[in-house]
Amino acid sequence: MVAKVDGLLEEVESLPGPAARATADVVGALLEMYGEGLARIVGLVAEREAEGLVEALSGDELVSHLLLLHDLHPVPVEARVRGALEDVRPYLDSHGGDVELVAVEDGVVRLRLAGSCDGCPTSAMTLKLAIEEAVLKAAPEVERVEADGAAPESEPGNGLLQLTVAGGTRASAAGARPPDPDGAWATAGALPELANGG
């Protein structure tokens, strides 16, 4: 439902001239009306302290989205971020990782990562993306997620494995073809010849 509305809003924004403005005005007025209605509902529920109702409403994905849209979500951002981290923690643990919330300030969530499969950069990136997805789903008003302690991304290399013979020198043999300066493929000898450097 949310994706459908987002798609329709994009279509409205792409309309030319006065039609776009009139349509946007109607949508804006409807949003204001629904927002005011939701604000009253949230206020009435809060006044009556309906046990569990606020949690149930904020736990429903569609209702939660509407509450966020109108800046009415009853659960503070930090609590929603903590909940998202608790939800993703079993996945992190299964990969040898963990996460700690450092701060939520000015739309930025700062985290500290630990573990992540013995420092494997690919695993760390996968875990970081899983955490970001969970946090942004729970708190879409967050602008950025920063993670300290993530394994550094690996340096891009030329993708070739360099081999050396015991003793630290490159293999060479009489009659062996010198490497092509353009980096093109060269025919290697048979397995017994390779053992002798050819």
pLDDT for 121-143, tens place per residue? 656 677 788 899 999 988 988 99
Residue 186 reports pLDDT greater than 70: no
Nearest to 109 by CA among 131, 91, 130: 131
Half-sphere CA count of 116, side-chain side, radius 13 A: 24
Output the pLDDT for position 101. 94
Judge contact between 147 and 111, C-beta under 8 A: yes
CA distance 8 to 23: 11
86-117 core/surface letters (b: 16 or more CB in 10 A; e: else)? eebeeebeebebbbeeeebeeeebebebebbe
As a whole number, the mean pLDDT across the chain is: 76
Distances (CA, A) of 64 to 42, 69, 161: 12, 9, 51
Is the pLDDT reported for residue 106 higher than 50? yes
**Alpha-carbon span 117 to 96, nearest angstrom:** 5
Alpha carbons 81 and 186: distance in angstroms, whole number = 55
Using DSSP, state whether 103 is helix, strand or coil: strand
Mean pLDDT computed over 137-160: 70
pTM above threshold 0.75: no
